[in-house]
């Protein structure tokens, strides 16, 4: 029979090996509630990828996805404490300026995923939209500002186009175009390419052609998360950026994820992906020129009365170094 001390030593050594090999079982995963303003590949794609590939789990996180019907309701969720992290439009900086308990913590994407869609065959170029009505999701939103910026960049004057709030429903967009309520819609590329594939319209251009400097999508975080669980915020951003990198490098899988998010077919989502992959931010940073351009956008769209300083509303302190 072996001495008891020998058995104890072997048992202790075996236990140490098990603990070292499986550190993930030593601590419960940190919980996060992440809301997004719409069913977009730009917003939800990295979340699905990070979950499917175990990236959140690898960083000790368990993420709950929450879909909202627009940015306003998302920010209401943040104010109510029901959301830790929000994914919304670039001009939603205005909520931070108005006192919402949140900060912008990362750039998600440039405007490559926002397009002008038309149905009238007589509209062949952007200049054919001068003096026309353009459908936007709602007044004061990112798409609203884009319509105004289009007219400004083309030198059409303050009344160069008339933005019309028509919401975000595909059926409403199509109806507004077909009945002549609007000559074009400004919105997500998914809708534009779906209409184009169905022969109901065509994508005229992307917003990146005339408004490249204002981020299309941003990440917001509740100040309580930033002050009380800063390491959790950092780990989420690390997993998020890893998710984007994985999506860009795996088009077939990214297209399949896009189908799960939007319900659209592979051909539509492949076209959306080809635009989106060049728009996702690989490092999450917002440059000083981008901050300045966004401040100008907030003023031009009437969201603020004076040119704001956005520096206090943004922090890059939680991005990977």
Instruction: Looking at 179-250, list the stretches that DSSP marks H as alpha helix, in order from N- to C-terminal side.
Output: 189-197, 223-228, 230-249
**Long-range contacts of the stretch 21-28 (C-beta < 8 A, 24+):** 24/57, 24/60, 27/60
Instruction: Map tokens 């189908």 to a residue.
Output: 259
pLDDT given for residue 65 in this prediction:
95
Residue 10 has what pLDDT? 52
pLDDT at res. 60: 97
pLDDT tens per residue across span 110-154: 988 889 999 888 999 999 999 999 999 888 888 899 999 999 999
Query: Rounded to an integer, what distance in angstroms lies between the CA atom of residue 178 and that of residue 186?
Result: 15
The DSSP result for 247-307, as a single string, is HHH-HHHHHHHHHHHH---HHHHHHHHHHHTTTB-SS----HHHHHHHHHHHHHTTS-SS-
The H or E element that residue 153 is part of is: helix 142-153
Q: What is the CA radius of gyration of the chain?
A: 23
pLDDT score of 99 more than 90 = yes
- Residue 191 confidence (pLDDT): 84
Which residues make up the CATH 3.40.190.10 domain(s) of the chain? 29-110+214-313, 113-209
Looking at residue 9, its pLDDT comes to 52
pLDDT in tens, 150-195: 999 999 987 899 999 887 666 787 788 888 899 999 988 888 898 8
> Which sign, positive or negative, has the C-alpha torsion 41, 44, 50, 54?
negative
Contact 74, 37 (CB under 8 A): yes
Name which of 88, 85, 84 is nearest 70 in CA terms: 88
Q: What's residue 291's pLDDT?
A: 95
**Can you give the pLDDT at residue 14?**
43
Neighbours of 93 (CB within 10 A): 28
Span 225-234, pLDDT tens digits: 999 999 999 9
Domain 29-110+214-313, CATH 3.40.50.2300 — does that match? no
Q: What is the pTM of this model?
A: 0.86
Q: Which CATH number fits domain 113-209: 3.10.129.10, 3.30.70.640, 3.40.190.10, 3.20.20.70?
A: 3.40.190.10
Which residue in the block uniquely carries the two structure tokens 């601590």?
Answer: 27
pLDDT the model gives residue 2: 45
Q: In this structure, what are the phi and psi dihedrals at residue 51, rounded to the nearest 5 degrees?
A: -75, -50
């Amino acid at each position: 029979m072996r001495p008891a001390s020998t058995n104890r030593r072997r048992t202790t050594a075996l236990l140490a090996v098990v603990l070292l090999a499986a550190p993930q079982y030593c601590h419960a995963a940190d919980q996060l509630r992440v809301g997004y303003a719409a069913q977009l590949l730009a917003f939800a794609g990295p979340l699905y990828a990070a979950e499917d590939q175990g990236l959140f789990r690898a960083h000790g996180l368990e993420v709950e996805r929450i879909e909202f019907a627009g940015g306003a309701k998302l920010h209401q969720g943040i104010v109510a404490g029901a959301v830790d992290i929000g994914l919304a439009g670039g001009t939603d900086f205005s909520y931070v300026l108005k006192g919402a308990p949140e900060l912008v913590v990362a750039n998600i994407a440039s405007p490559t995923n926002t397009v002008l869609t038309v149905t009238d065959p007589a509209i062949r170029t952007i200049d054919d939209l001068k003096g026309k009505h353009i459908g936007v999701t709602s007044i004061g939103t990112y798409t609203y500002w884009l319509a105004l910026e289009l007219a400004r960049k083309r030198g059409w004057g303050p009344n160069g186009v008339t933005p019309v709030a028509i919401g975000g429903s595909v059926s409403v967009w199509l109806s507004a175009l077909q009945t002549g309520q609007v000559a074009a819609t400004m919105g997500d590329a998914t809708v534009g390419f779906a209409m184009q594939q169905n022969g109901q319209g065509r994508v005229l251009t992307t917003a990146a052609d005339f408004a490249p400097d204002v981020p299309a999508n941003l990440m917001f975080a509740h100040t309580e998360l930033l002050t009380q669980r800063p390491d959790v915020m950092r780990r989420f951003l690390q997993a998020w950026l890893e998710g984007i990198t994985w999506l860009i490098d795996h088009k077939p899988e990214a297209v399949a994820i896009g189908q799960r998010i939007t319900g659209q077919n592979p051909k539509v989502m492949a076209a959306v992906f080809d635009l989106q992959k060049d728009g996702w931010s690989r490092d999450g940073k917002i440059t000083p020129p981008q901050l300045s351009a966004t401040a100008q956008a907030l003023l031009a769209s009437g969201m603020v009365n004076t040119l704001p300083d956005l520096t206090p509303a943004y922090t890059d302190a939680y991005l990977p170094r």
